Structure 1
Amino acid sequence: MSSPFENASNFNIEGGTHIYAKNYNHYGKRPPKSSIEKLREHIAAGALHNSAERCDAPKCHPETRVAVQEEVVSWICDGDSDEDREGIMWVTGPAGSGKTAIMGSVADGCQGKGILGATHFFSSFSGSANRRSKQYLVPTLAYQFVQHKAMTQVAEQILSAVERNPVVFEQKLEVQLDQLILEPLRACRDHPPLPEWPKVILIDGLDECEADQYHDTTRSDVSPRSKEDDQTEILSVLKKAASDPDFPFRIVIASRPEPAIQSFFTEVAHSVTRKLFLDEKYNPDADMELFLESKFAIIRRRCHLPSLWPREDVRQTLISNASGQFIYVVTVGRFMEGSGEDPDQLLNQVLQLPGIKACANPLAPLDALYTHILNSSPNPPLSTLWLSLIFREQYFVRALDLGPAPATFVRLYLESYPGQVSYAFRNLNSLVSTPSMEDHDSPYRLYHKSLVDFLQDRSRSGTLYVELKVVLEHFVDRYSHLWKKSMQGVIGIPDAAQFAGVSEAD
C-alpha cells in the first residue's frame, strides 16, 4: 500500500497532527496568501462596470444619448490632439439627467474597442458597503490593471508592491496611488506600451462617496470628516495622476455638480479638466422621444392597443414635464408597464398630475409622479416609513456593515405578519426592485437615487415626509419586539405588554 505522503516534499509534522508540505495540506497551516489574494481582499468588486451588483444598472437605450457618448469616446481616443490636452473629463448634470446610464454605456463601448483600463462605480444606496468608501478605489483600479492582458509587466510591479508593503491598503490615498499605480507605471516606462494598451479610467458617482471616520464619533472635541473631505481627497489624487507624465490614461469622472466638487474643478483642476455638462446641447428631448416611442411600442404590442396610441401631444407633454431629466420618462414607462392595469388609464393619471410649470421648478413633475406612485400603495405612510428606513437612512446597511441586507432579512425584521412588506410595497415596482420569495440573497434595490432625495426633503415629499426620529424609533421598536420574542422562545420570559395585561396589535 502506498503512503498518503508519497508525493509530498519539504514537509514537517507538528504535534503529530498538523502537517504542512509544499504540495500537501491536511488539517494544518494554510499556505500564505498570494499577493493577488491580498489585493483582492481590498477591492470593491461590485464597483466594476460589469459586476453582478450592476446587472440592473441603467444603460442608455439604443440610439439615445448618442451625441454625449460620441463626445466622451472621441475625447478618450483623440484628445491628445486637442490644444489644451486635458487629462480629466468631468461629466456632470442634475439628478436624473442620465450620468450613470451614459457612463455604463461608455464603459461597454470602450471595452468593446479594447481601450477600457478600469472602472469604479460608487453607490451610496445600493450594492456593497465598500462602494461608498474611498479606501477601495485605488486597489480596485490596480486590480483591474493586474487582470488586463496587455499590462503584464505593470501587473508584476503592482503585485511586488503589495508583497513589499501589505499595509498599503491602510495608508493614505496618495500613498496607495504612488505605490500601487504610479511607481509600477514608472518602473515600466522603458518598455513602450503595447498598441492594445487601454486608454481610459471611468469613475462614476463620485458625489455618492461617503466619509470614512477614523476616530470615536461620539467625541465632541473632534470634528467628524465630511463626505466632501473624502471626495476632495479622491479628486486630488486623480489630478496628481493625470498630471504625471508616466500616467498613460485619461480619466472620466461623472458626478452631480455638488459645491465641493464644482469648486475643485473650477479652482484647483481647471487647467487639466474638460467639463461636459448634460444640457440641451446634447438634445435630451430627442433622446427621450426615442425612448418613449420604444416603450409605447412594447406596451401597444403587449396590450393590443391601436398604432396611434398615445397621441403625439402626449409624448411632447411628458418630455416637457421631464425638463431634461431622463429618470422622469423612465419612471413613467415603468409605472405603465409594471402594475398590470390598463396602461391608458395609468398614462392619463400621470397626465392629470398637478401641472406645475417645469421652468419654475424642474423637479415638480418628478415629485408629483413620485407622490402619486407612493400614494397608490395600500398604506402610503407605512410604505414611505419603510422606504426611508431601508434606503434613506440605510439602517440595515449600517447595522450589518456588509452592504444592503437581503430582502428576506428585511422582511423578517419589519413584518408584523407574513406578507406585510409585499402588501406595503404593492404598486411600487416602478420605484423598487423586489426579489422573489425564493431569492434569499438579493436585497431590495431602488431604481434611482432621486427617490432618496425626494424622501429626505420635506419641501418635496410634503405629507409623505417622515421625521428621522420616527424612522429611528420604528427601527428600535422592531428590534425590541424581535428581541423579546426570541427571549420568550428561549427561556420563557413573558412579553412585557402581556405581563402588564395589555395585548400587542402585532
Structure 2
Amino acid sequence: AEGALYDSADRNFAPKCLENTRVSVLERVTKWIADPTAPHLFWLNGMAGTGKSTVAQTITGFCSERKWLAATFFFSRDRVVQHSAELFFPTLAHQLALFEPRLIPFLEASMKTNSALPRATFVVQFNKLIVEPFAEFVKTEPAGLDAPILVVIDALDECKYEESTRELVHLLLNGGLHQFPTLKVLVTSRPETYICSVFKRPMDVPIPYRSLALHEEDPETARQDITAYLEQGLGRIRKDRWECFSGLRAEESWPTERMINDLVDRSAGLFIYASTILKYLQD
C-alpha cells in the first residue's frame, strides 16, 4: 500500500506543525519514543480538526531524520488500499525489513513455512510477519534493538470496517509488542466508541499504554498555537502574494492584530478552521 508510506508521493504536501506550535504535544511524544522504559504504544486521539495527522506527520519527519522511523501506515477513507486493513501487516513488515535488513532471514523463513500469509487472518499475519521475526532477531542479535524503532499508524478511524479496526487495536496493544522495549507504536484516531472500547476493555493482565486527547488540551495553549499558526501562515501569504498588497501604505499592516484575534476566536480551538481560512486566502 504505497500511499500509506511516509515518503509516498501522495504525501508531498501533507502539513507539518509550524515552528513554535504544538510544542508540548511534540515534546511528550518524542520523550516517550526515546524512553525504553515507557509503554510501547501511544494513542493520540482527538475530535475532527484538532490536528492529529499534522502532529503524526511532524513526528515522522523528526524521527526519519534520526533514523528512528521504521514503518508507517496512513489510513485514508478516500483511497481503496488505504481504507482497508488487508495490506496493513504486509505493508508494515515490508518497511521493517527495509529499516532493519537483519530481519529479512526471519521474515523469509516465516513466509516459506506459511505460503498463505497474504490471505491469512490478521492475528496470523501479525504473529508471523511482526512478532515472531522480531523475537527470533532479538535471540540472535541481543543488542540489535538499542535505538528507538518507531511505527506510526495515522487516522485509524478511517479504516473501512469497525471490526477490523477493533482487531488491529487489540493486536497492537495486547499482541506481544511490549516485549520489545525500543519498539514504539504511535496510533492516531478520533475517539470513536468502538476504538475507545478496546483501549478501555478490562484485561486479566492489562498492558499499559500512553494516551493524549488533543480536544482536551488546555484552551489557552490551543489558542496560542492557533495564533502562531495564523501569524506565520498569513505572513507567508503576504510574502508569496506581495503584488496583492502593493497598494498598502508603509504604515499599514496586514494582517492586523484584531484580524488575527477574530480568526482565533472563530477557530474555537480547531486547527482545521484556521487551515481552511489560510487555504482559501492562498487560492
Do these two structures clear the TM 0.5 threshold for a shared fold by scoring above it?
yes
Counterpart mapping for 1:299-338 below 5 A: 299-301=237-239, 302=242, 303-304=244-245, 305=248, 307-338=252-283
* Cα pair 2:36 2:181 within 8 Å, conserved: no
Q: Hey, what does 1:215 align to over in structure 2?
A: none
Q: Hey, what does 1:175 align to over in structure 2?
A: 124
Q: Hey, what does 2:227 align to over in structure 1?
A: 289
**Aligned partners of 1:300, 1:246: CA distance in 2, in Å?**
49
How far off its partner does 1:316 sit? 1.3
Cα gap change, 1:117/1:258 in structure 2, threshold over 3 Å: closer, same or farther? same
Amino acid at match of 2:96: F
Q: Hey, what does 2:191 align to over in structure 1?
A: 257
* Cα pair 1:59 1:102 within 8 Å, conserved: yes
Matched, 1:97 2:50: yes
How far off its partner does 1:196 sit? 6.2
How does the TM-score come out when normalised to structure 2?
0.89
Q: Hey, what does 2:73 align to over in structure 1?
A: 120
* Cα pair 1:89 1:275 within 8 Å, conserved: yes
Q: Hey, what does 2:168 align to over in structure 1?
A: 234
**Aligned partners of 1:77, 1:189: CA distance in 2, in Å?**
19
Determine which structure has more spread, i.e. the larger CA radius of gyration.
Answer: 1
Q: Hey, what does 1:201 align to over in structure 2?
A: 151
Amino acid at match of 1:236: H
How far off its partner does 1:199 sit? 2.2
Cα gap change, 1:242/1:72 in structure 2, threshold over 3 Å: closer, same or farther? farther
How far off its partner does 1:160 sit? 2.4
**Aligned partners of 1:281, 1:159: CA distance in 2, in Å?**
48
How far off its partner does 1:52 sit? 0.9
Q: Hey, what does 2:28 align to over in structure 1?
A: 71
- 1:116-161 deviations in whole A, cap 9, x for unaligned? 1211110102xx411111111111110011111xx23212111222
* Cα pair 1:182 1:246 within 8 Å, conserved: no
Matched, 1:51 2:12: no
Percent identity between matched residues is: 31
**Aligned partners of 1:152, 1:313: CA distance in 2, in Å?**
55
Q: Hey, what does 1:439 align to over in structure 2?
A: none
Counterpart mapping for 1:343-362 below 5 A: none
Gap runs ≥5 in structure 2: none
Amino acid at match of 1:239: L
**Number of residue pairs the alignment of both structures matches:** 271
Amino acid at match of 2:53: T
How far off its partner does 1:300 sit? 2.9
**Aligned partners of 1:198, 1:146: CA distance in 2, in Å?**
15
- 1:396-417 deviations in whole A, cap 9, x for unaligned? xxxxxxxxxxxxxxxxxxxxxx
* Cα pair 2:157 2:189 within 8 Å, conserved: yes
Q: Hey, what does 1:129 align to over in structure 2?
A: 80
Cα gap change, 1:198/1:273 in structure 2, threshold over 3 Å: closer, same or farther? closer
Cα gap change, 1:209/1:53 in structure 2, threshold over 3 Å: closer, same or farther? same
Matched, 1:141 2:92: yes
**Aligned partners of 1:112, 1:203: CA distance in 2, in Å?**
18
Cα gap change, 1:320/1:47 in structure 2, threshold over 3 Å: closer, same or farther? same
**Aligned partners of 1:287, 1:242: CA distance in 2, in Å?**
37
- 1:12-59 deviations in whole A, cap 9, x for unaligned? xxxxxxxxxxxxxxxxxxxxxxxxxxxxxxxx1110111111112222
**Aligned partners of 1:134, 1:158: CA distance in 2, in Å?**
20
RMSD: 2.0
